[in-house]
Amino acid sequence: MRQTQLITWHRQRCNCENHIKELKHAFSLNSLPSADFFVNALYFRIQTLGYNLISALKLIKLPANWQTLTLKTLRFRLLAIPALVVKHARGLWLKINHAHPYLPILKPLVT
């Protein structure tokens, strides 16, 4: 390996602490729900599955500058927006305000 490749590889290893911090704070893994080991293991697996699904969403569907955002930021920008669910023509439709600032990013996710 060249020296610049080695430095880049080493800096990416330090990002692991950010992933652990995201799991602890955004996915409520800072405290476990039970004293039973197997219940906590199941809880941890469910939370890591959710984390992996959010990571896949960021990598596959979101633009490159959104891939580094935390779950809290994604929640406030995309997931917790006011909308109206309407049942019409044998389907469910999501009505969102046309003035929403992140509507161009949200449209490809819904279709």
Q: Which tokens is 48 given?
A: 């890591």
Asked whether residue 100 is domain-assigned, the answer is yes
Q: Are residues 15 and 51 in the same domain?
A: yes
| Interval 70-96 mean pLDDT | 88
Q: Which tokens is 105 given?
A: 């990013």
Q: Are residues 17 and 51 in the same domain?
A: yes
Q: Which residues, including other chains, have CB under 8 Å from residue 23's CB and lie 6 or more apart?
A: 29, 47, 48, 51
Asked whether residue 52 is domain-assigned, the answer is yes
| Interval 17-28 mean pLDDT | 81
- In this predicted structure, the answer to whether residue 41 has a pLDDT above a threshold of 90 is yes
* The pLDDT of residue 45: 92
β-strand partners of 35: none
Q: How far apart are CA 71 and CA 92, in angstroms?
A: 26
- For residue 111, what pLDDT band results from cuts at 50, 70 and 90? low
Q: Are residues 13 and 65 in the same domain?
A: yes
Q: Are residues 37 and 86 in the same domain?
A: no
Rounded-to-5 percentages of helix, strand, coil across the chain: 60, 10, 30
Tell me, rounded to whole angstroms, the distance of Cα 87 from its chain centroid.
Answer: 28
Q: Which tokens is 44 given?
A: 């941890």
Q: Give the global pTM.
A: 0.71
Asked whether residue 63 is domain-assigned, the answer is yes
Can you give the residue range of the structural domain that contains 50? 3-69
* The pLDDT of residue 1: 63
Q: Are residues 97 and 51 in the same domain?
A: no
Identify residue 61 by its one-letter amino acid code: K
Q: Are residues 36 and 9 in the same domain?
A: yes
Number of domains in the chain: 2
- In this predicted structure, the answer to whether residue 52 has a pLDDT above a threshold of 80 is yes
Asked whether residue 35 is domain-assigned, the answer is yes
- pLDDT-above-90 percentage for the chain: 15
Asked whether residue 75 is domain-assigned, the answer is no
